[in-house]
Every structure is written in C-alpha cells, then in structure tokens.
Structure 1
Amino acid sequence: MAQKLKTQDLMEVFNKNLNEVNLKFDLNKEIISTLDKKLEQIENSSLKIEYEPLGTVILDNDKMFKEHRSELSNIFEKQISMMKVVSKKESKYQLYFYGALTILLFLCAAILSYGIDQYHEKKAAEKEVKFYSKEAFRRNEYLKENNLTEKYESWLEQKQSNQNSVN
C-alpha cells in the first residue's frame, strides 16, 4: 500500500524563498527550470510502507512476551499467597496484642481501684486513731483529776490476770 507524501507546506515555503532569491539575484532560466522539474518530481513522489515484516516482528514479540507473562503471573500468584499467609499471621499477632492490651487495661484499673480503696481505708484508720488517742488522753486526764488512777490500774491488773488464767 502506497501513501502519498504531503509536501504542500514545504513547497509553499520553498517557492516563497525561491521567489525572494530570484528577485535578489538574476538566475538563469535553466537553473529555474531544473528546480521546477525537481519540485514536480518531489510532489509526485510517494512513500511505500510494507506491513508484512512488521507482522512477523509483532508475532515474535507476542511469543516472547507470553513466556514472560506466564512467569510474571506465577510470581504474582506466589506473592499473593505469601501475602495472605503473612496477613493471617499479622492479624493473629494483632489480636494477641489487643487482647493483652485489654487485659493490662483491666489489671491497671483493678490495681488503681485497690490503691484508691487502700488510701481511703488508711485515712479512715488515721482518723479513728486520732479520735481514740484523744479519747484516751481525755480519760487519762479525768482519772488524774479525780484521783481514780490507782483504782483504774488495779482494775486493769485484775482484768489481765483473769484473761491470763482463762488462756
């Protein structure tokens, strides 16, 4: 199949330049006629393109690429299967991580709750100790003022001796 080469633009530019040269220089008629003949030959020339060798090149490339495509598809399938295995492992590890994190959270909350409870119990015990120490001080003062200290000590010794004999 032959295609005609379009040279109209090229010819117009060439003719324009040729007219300018002709005005500037006095060229003889033989050169101009020879150039005109060459221009006509260029306008009438055609370009022939053969597609048959291109078809064989395409077939050769297709055979070569089929081999590479099958190799690449095998590699792709292997990578996909490996990624699935790794993904399952990672999801299992992620589950373990979040499970351990949840257990640690509950453990921390329990320890914090126990610590707060112990703090409040300590404060309550301190208040109770202060109260009983003040009470004991007041009773001791009362006993001293009323000279009942000796009676109290004898009563206390009697109580302790009764408890020792029972045990």
Structure 2
Amino acid sequence: MALKVKTQDVLEVFNEKLDSVREKFDLNEKILSTIDLKLIEIKNTSIKVEFDSLKEETKKNSELFKNNRTELDQILQKHASEIKFFAKKQEKLQLYFYGALLVLFLLSATFLAFAMNEYHDRKDAEQRLKFYIKEASRRNLFLKEKKMTLEYENWLEIEQKKIDNRK
C-alpha cells in the first residue's frame, strides 16, 4: 500500500528548506555589504608617493648607466676608428688595383700597336721585296738581251767600292 504524505510533513520539510534559503540570502547580503564597504574605503583612500627614495634610485641607475654608457662610447669609437682604418686600406688597395689595371691596359695597348706596326712594316717590306725581285729579273733579262751583263757587274763593283770607302 502506498504511503500517504501528510501535510504536516510537507510543511516541516518546506520550513527547513526555507530556513536554508534565507540563510543563503543573508549570507549574500553580508558579502555585498562587505564589498560595498571595501569599495567606499578604496574610493576614500589616496596614494601618497614618496619621491625621495625614487630620486635616490634614479641617481644610482644613472651612475650605473653612465659607466656603461662611457664604456659603450669607447667601444663605439674604437670600432669606428678600426672601420675607418680598414676602409682607407681598402681604398688604397682598390687604387693600387685600378692603377695596375691601367698600367696593364696601357702596356697591352702599346704592345698591340707595336705588333700592328711591325705587321704592316713586314707586309710593306714583302711587297717592296716582290717589286725589287720583279725589277731585278726584268733588268737581268734586259741586260742579257743587250749583252751588257759584264759591264753591269763591273759598274756594280766600282759602286760597291765607293760605298765601302765612305764608311
């Protein structure tokens, strides 16, 4: 058989639950009132900054940074002077390189001009030699036809002796 719930029992359980809910509301109100009080307290407080200790710390830091700054300045000046030295050295090396390149260019141009001049002189000499060979063969042919070969040889010996006597 099913149990019948009495109204009295339901009301007792309801009362117990109601008391626990009321306690929770009271607790929330206490928390909210505490928070409100703290917010009012925070609004009313003022921050007072003491600059004397801050000045001392600033002085200490500036002295430390001053030492480091001078050290960094010295290192910077040292590196700058080294860079200038190497830049001048590189500049001199480039100047020597381009100077040597210019000298080599001038020498090669001179040798090229000399070689071209010699080539043309040789060609001219070959052409004159061919001309004189042809001229000599025509003269010999003419002398043989006129039977003057002995006279020409005598005349040539006389002329040669004159040239030798002048020297």
**Aligned residue in 2 for 1:85:** 81
Aligned to 1:45, what secondary structure does the other structure show?
Answer: helix
**Aligned residue in 2 for 1:128:** 124
- Alpha-carbon shift at residue 30 of structure 1 (Å): 1.3
Q: In the alignment, does 2:155 pair up with 1:162?
A: no
Q: Work out the number of aligned pairs and report it.
A: 142
CA distance in 2: counterparts of 1:77 and 1:63, whole angstroms: 20
**Aligned residue in 1 for 2:141:** 145
CA distance in 1: counterparts of 2:66 and 2:92, whole angstroms: 39
Q: TM-score, normalised by structure 1?
A: 0.62
Give CA deviations for 1:135-166 in whole Å, capped at 9, x if unaligned: 12202321342226655544443333333344
Bigger radius of gyration among the two: 2
Q: In the alignment, does 2:31 pair up with 1:35?
A: no
The higher relative CO (CA closer than 8 Å, separation ≥ 6) is in 1
- Alpha-carbon shift at residue 45 of structure 1 (Å): 1.0
Task: Considering fraction of residues, name the structure with more helix.
Answer: 2
Show the 5 A alignment for 1:1-167: 28-46=21-39, 47=42, 51-52=48-49, 56=53, 58-59=54-55, 61-146=57-142, 147=144, 151-167=151-167
% same residue: 13
Q: Which amino acid aligns with 2:159?
A: K
Give CA deviations for 1:51-72 in whole Å, capped at 9, x if unaligned: 557973x445424312221112
126-135 vs 38-47, which moves further: 38-47
Give CA deviations for 1:98-125 in whole Å, capped at 9, x if unaligned: 4424533442342233123213312321
CA distance in 1: counterparts of 2:84 and 2:149, whole angstroms: 82
Q: Which amino acid aligns with 1:132?
A: R
RMSD value over aligned CA atoms? Answer: 3.4
Aligned CA distance change for structure 1 residues 127 and 152 (closer, same or farther; 3 Å): farther
Stretches of structure 2 that go unaligned for 5 or more consecutive residues are 1-16
